[in-house]
């Protein structure tokens, strides 16, 4: 550990611990959470590590409070995070919406377990992918990243903080129990400050500051409490001053901007990884832990002379719409394995728009797919 309390070097650690270390490296100095399997180790690690870097850990009375405390800390100017799993994620939906409408940078990690309800607390699933997109009420756009290894959870937490500061939006990191609890090599590099983004602050005096007046990039500069700006923010529909305005016109202007600031910048946000897609006639579209198994299935298919490829979604929301549309012109079928009964497959199907067929390989949770299941689906789609 260096003088400043930040880890550097090569470690053997599980995904939850790597998640916490990613946050520390990203400059996160506030964590509020509530114990829940399989995300508890994130909180435990943060409680141990934050005092070393001058940060604050607090265990709240529930996940509703945790999400709110994270928003409050962000308005004090601190990078803030919480981590949870299914039932806690449900409780956080209310104030995820508040984070969206107040345009509050923060990171929310979901180490997914199988549901519905209490489900299988100790076992993996990818069942909250649509909840991540639509879980809070109203129209909004969100960013969600999906890591497939402890190393990637570390990397994506940093990316998540950068995106949240850049676009003033809560960013979701949708991991799962398998990645959270697996231990692998994690390389923690020294991260130079210019690779860590901070929200743009107002450059006008308080009397000229309008909290929700955005320029061309649609992201308004953000004042923080205690600096004399004396701003007002509200969960009600508001104008550029931040004052509530109860009209259809104000609603239209605000919601359009909240959505468009993500939508119009999607090319800057969306990341995918492709392998063997150039000549592929079958593409497996997978994300998170499932993409690792899909990779094996694709390799096996190639060994057997099948022109298969892998499209690994790193950003799930906003969805890699344009790329899937492009690939649909080239391939016969998309195979979509996911640990749920069909969620992201709906997006693939929408973008394929009948140009390629779409095959769901569902798994209800509790374990992961076998490569064999995915390989079979690849073969069947060729018949």
Nearer to other proteins, 229 or 319 (CB): 229
3-state secondary structure 62-90: CHHHHHHHHHHHHHCCCCEEEEECHHHHH
Nearer to other proteins, 105 or 124 (CB): 105
Beta-carbon count within 10 A of 175 CB:
35
Shortest Å, Cβ 8 to other proteins: 17
**Applying CB under 8 A, which residues contact other proteins?**
30, 32, 51-52, 54, 56, 58, 60-62, 64-78, 80, 94-95, 97-98, 102, 224-236, 243-244
Per the CB < 8 A criterion, the answer to whether 40 and 59 are in contact is no
Nearer to other proteins, 232 or 350 (CB): 232
Shortest Å, Cβ 32 to other proteins: 6
Residue (of 374, 236, 228) closest to 306 by Cα position = 374
Shortest Å, Cβ 225 to other proteins: 4
Give 332-351 as a DSSP string.
SEEEEEESSSSSHHHHHHHH
Q: Is residue 209 classed as helix, strand or coil in its secondary structure?
A: coil
Q: Is residue 172 classed as helix, strand or coil in its secondary structure?
A: strand
Q: Tokens representing 117?
A: 């309800």
Shortest Å, Cβ 64 to other proteins: 7
Shortest Å, Cβ 71 to other proteins: 6
Nearer to other proteins, 69 or 293 (CB): 69
Q: Which residues lie closer than 8 Å to 310 by C-beta, 6 or more apart?
A: 273, 274, 275, 276, 277, 283, 284, 286, 291, 294, 295, 298
Nearer to other proteins, 209 or 287 (CB): 209
Shortest Å, Cβ 291 to other proteins: 34
Shortest Å, Cβ 204 to other proteins: 16
Q: Which residues lie closer than 8 Å to 237 by C-beta, 6 or more apart?
A: 244, 245, 246, 247, 250, 251, 254
Residue (of 108, 7, 16) closest to 52 by Cα position = 7
Nearer to other proteins, 33 or 115 (CB): 33
Nearer to other proteins, 80 or 108 (CB): 80
Per the CB < 8 A criterion, the answer to whether 238 and 253 are in contact is no
Shortest Å, Cβ 236 to other proteins: 7
């Amino acid at each position: 550990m260096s003088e400043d309390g930040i880890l550097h070097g090569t470690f053997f650690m599980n995904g939850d611990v790597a998640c916490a270390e990613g946050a520390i490296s990203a400059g996160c100095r506030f964590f509020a959470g509530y114990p829940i399997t399989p995300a508890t180790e994130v909180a435990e690690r943060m409680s141990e590590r934050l005092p070393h870097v001058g940060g604050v850990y607090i265990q709240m009375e529930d996940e509703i409070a945790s999400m709110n405390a994270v928003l409050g800390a962000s308005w004090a100017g601190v990078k803030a995070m919480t981590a949870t799993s299914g039932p806690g994620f449900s409780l956080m939906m209310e104030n995820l919406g508040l984070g969206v409408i107040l345009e509050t940078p923060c990171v929310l990690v979901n180490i997914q377990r199988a549901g519905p309800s209490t489900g299988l607390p100790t076992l993996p699933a990818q069942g909250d992918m649509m909840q991540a997109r639509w879980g809070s009420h109203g129209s909004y756009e969100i960013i969600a990243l999906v890591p497939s290894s402890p190393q990637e959870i570390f990397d994506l937490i940093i990316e998540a903080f950068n995106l949240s500061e850049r676009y003033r939006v809560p960013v979701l990191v949708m991991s799962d129990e398998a990645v959270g609890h697996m231990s692998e090599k994690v390389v923690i590099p020294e991260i130079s400050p210019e690779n860590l983004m901070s929200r743009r602050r107002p450059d006008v005096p308080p009397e000229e500051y309008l909290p929700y007046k955005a320029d061309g990039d649609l992201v308004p500069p953000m004042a923080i409490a205690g600096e004399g700006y004396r701003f007002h923010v509200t969960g009600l529909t508001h104008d550029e001053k931040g004052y509530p305005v109860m009209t259809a016109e104000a609603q239209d202007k605000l919601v359009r901007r909240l959505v468009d600031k993500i939508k119009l910048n999607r090319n800057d946000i969306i990341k995918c990884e492709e392998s063997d897609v150039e000549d592929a006639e079958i593409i497996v579209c997978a994300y998170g832990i499932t993409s690792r198994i899909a990779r094996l299935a694709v390799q096996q298919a190639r060994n057997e002379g099948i022109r298969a490829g892998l499209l690994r979604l790193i950003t799930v929301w906003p969805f890699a719409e344009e790329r899937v549309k492009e690939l649909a012109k080239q391939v016969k079928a998309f195979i979509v394995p996911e640990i749920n009964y069909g969620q992201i497959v709906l997006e693939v199907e929408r973008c394929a728009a009948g140009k390629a067929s779409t095959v769901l390989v569902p798994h209800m949770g509790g374990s992961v797919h076998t490569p064999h299941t995915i390989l079979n689906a690849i073969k069947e789609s060729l018949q």
